[in-house]
Amino acid sequence: MSQAAELSCVCGKSGNCVIYNRSVCAAGSAEDLAQLDRISHQRTYARGSVIQAQGEPCDIVGNIVEGVVKLSSTSVNGDDHIVGLLFPSDFFGRLFAEESRFSYEAATDVTLCTMNKPAFERFLVEHPAIEHEMLKATLDELDAVREWAAITNGHTTMQRVATLLYVFSRRAVNQHAKGNAPASRIVHVPLSRRDIADYLGTTPETLSRNIQMLARSKVIRNINAKHFELLNPAELIRHSGETRADLDRIASV
Cβ contacts of residue 79 below 8 Å, gap of 6+?
Answer: none
What is the per-residue pLDDT for 150?
A: 75
What is the per-residue pLDDT for 64?
A: 92
What is the per-residue pLDDT for 233?
A: 93
pLDDT in tens, 196-225: 998 888 999 999 999 999 999 999 999 998
Burial of 160 (0-12, 13-18, 19+ CB in 10 A): buried
CB atoms near residue 205 (< 10 Å): 10
Please tell me which residue, 18 or 104, carries the higher pLDDT value. 104
Torsion over CA of 231, 235, 240 and 244, rounded to 10 degrees? 90
Q: Which domains, from first to last, does the chain contain?
A: 5-127 (2.60.120.10), 155-252 (1.10.10.10)
pLDDT in tens, 107-164: 989 999 999 999 999 999 998 888 888 888 888 888 877 877 777 777 899 999 999 9
What is the per-residue pLDDT for 32?
A: 83
CB atoms near residue 228 (< 10 Å): 24
Query: Quick check: 180 pLDDT over 50?
Result: no
pLDDT in tens, 21-37: 667 777 778 888 888 88
107: nearest Cα among 86, 133, 135: 86
What distance in Å separates the CA atoms of residue 123 and residue 119, rounded to the nearest whole number? 6
Query: Quick check: 176 pLDDT over 60?
Result: no
206: nearest Cα among 167, 155, 156: 156
pLDDT in tens, 45-100: 999 999 999 999 888 999 999 999 999 998 778 788 888 888 888 889 888 888 88
CB 197 within 8 A of CB 80: no
* Range list of H helices, the chain: 30-38, 117-126, 128-154, 157-174, 193-200, 204-216, 233-240, 244-252
pTM: 0.80
φ/ψ of 201, rounded to 5, equals: 70, 40
Query: Quick check: 11 pLDDT over 80?
Result: no
Across-strand partners of 69? 86, 106
